[in-house]
Each structure stands twice: as structure tokens, then as C-alpha cells.
Amino acid sequence: MDKIFPQSKELKQLIESHEWDLYDSTMPEGRIKPFTWEEFQERGPAKEFVTGNNYLFAPIPKQGVSLRNSYINAGCMGLCFQLDNIEQHIDMDGEGAHIVNGKITYVFSRLGVEHYERMAAVSLFTPPSAMPNTPILIIPFRYVLEKFQKHFRIISTEEYYGGLEHPDFKARIN
């Protein structure tokens, strides 16, 4: 049986304080195509986070602006967790982080609420074999709110690429 993440309200408020929200992107049985931006906007943001479901981060649209255009015009690389040092990684499991301006950085666009009482912040829901080194960060439920309060932020494209400290990766994107 699916259950609701116990701190849904607090997590939602924290994300909204950054002017972003989460939309349920879980595909219902029988649906083949992903939801469109217009469908997300019509359905509205998630009110709570249910185990087994996946959520898409999107900026809160300004009055009269579509969700699609809000996302396009966000002008950022995306959402991220930034850790000052490896000690801050305690109680989380991750891979695919980059070092940006000296900080361990996980960029992500989606949040999965797993049945194992943990959340996964990811860039894409793809098998590791299809996209190796895709950032993923796993956080047990009991630490989610604390870790989001301490490490969640929005990172601009300029800040990300300007501070990226892996020369091979930088060379490939330039």
C-alpha cells in the first residue's frame, strides 16, 4: 500500500520558498506518452508526496505565464544539492556529482519517493546502463527535510559551467 511522505507539507513549503514546486509525473497504467506541460499545469502541483510516485520540479508560474514558459524562462541550470565537504554526505548515498566552485554538486530535475522510505533526487529516470554517471542522490525519509534545508538551492547555468572543476567535462561542453 502506498503511503504519504510524513513531512510532505514542510518539504513542499521549503521548495515553494525557492519559487519552485513539484508536479506528479507518475505515469498511470496504460499511458504511453509522458504528460505535457499543459497537462501538468491543468493538474496543478502535488499537494503531498506518495511512495512509488515520481515528481518533476518546475518554477511557480507568474500570473499569466504558462508553466512551459516559466520553465523555459527560469534561466537556471536547475536545482541542486551542494555540499561543502564529504562529511555533509553522511546519511545520503549518491553518485554522479560534479565539483562546482569547490562544492560537491548534484544537479537534478526530478524527485522519486521510493517504497523503501527514501527519496531519490535525479536528473532523469533512466537505467544507469543508458546514462552512466547521471547524478542521483538517495536520502532516507528521516533526513529528507534536514538535508533539503541545509543543501537545496537553485544553480544558474553560468555558475554551474563557470565553476565546474572537471577539465575533461568542461572541454566536452565548450
Q: Would you say residue 169 has pLDDT above 70?
A: no
Percent of the chain residues topping a pLDDT of 70: 87
Q: 133 with 172: CB under 8 angstroms?
A: no
Long-range contacts of 67-72 (CB under 8 A, 24+ apart): 67/37, 67/38, 67/40, 67/41, 68/37, 68/38, 68/41, 71/37
The model's pLDDT over 128-164, given as tens digits with 9 standing for 90+, comes to 554 566 788 999 999 999 999 999 999 888 888 888 8
Distance CA 155, CA 142 (A): 25
Predicted structure pTM score: 0.85
Give, in degrees to the nearest 5, the angle at Cα 113 between 125 and 104: 65
Find the radius of gyration of the CA atoms of the chain.
16
Please say whether the beta carbons of 56 and 22 come within 8 A: yes
pLDDT of residue 124: 57
Mean per-residue pLDDT, 84-92? 91
- Look at residue 73 in the predicted model and tell me its pLDDT: 87
- Residue 171 confidence (pLDDT): 40
Tens-place pLDDT, residues 100-127: 999 999 988 889 998 888 888 877 544 4
Could you tell me if 44 and 73 are in contact, meaning their C-beta atoms sit under 8 angstroms apart? no
Domain boundaries defined on the chain: 8-173
Query: Inter-axis angle of helices 141-151 and 8-16, to 10 degrees?
Result: 20
Could you read off the pLDDT of 24-55 as tens digits, one per residue?
Answer: 999 999 999 999 999 999 999 999 999 999 99
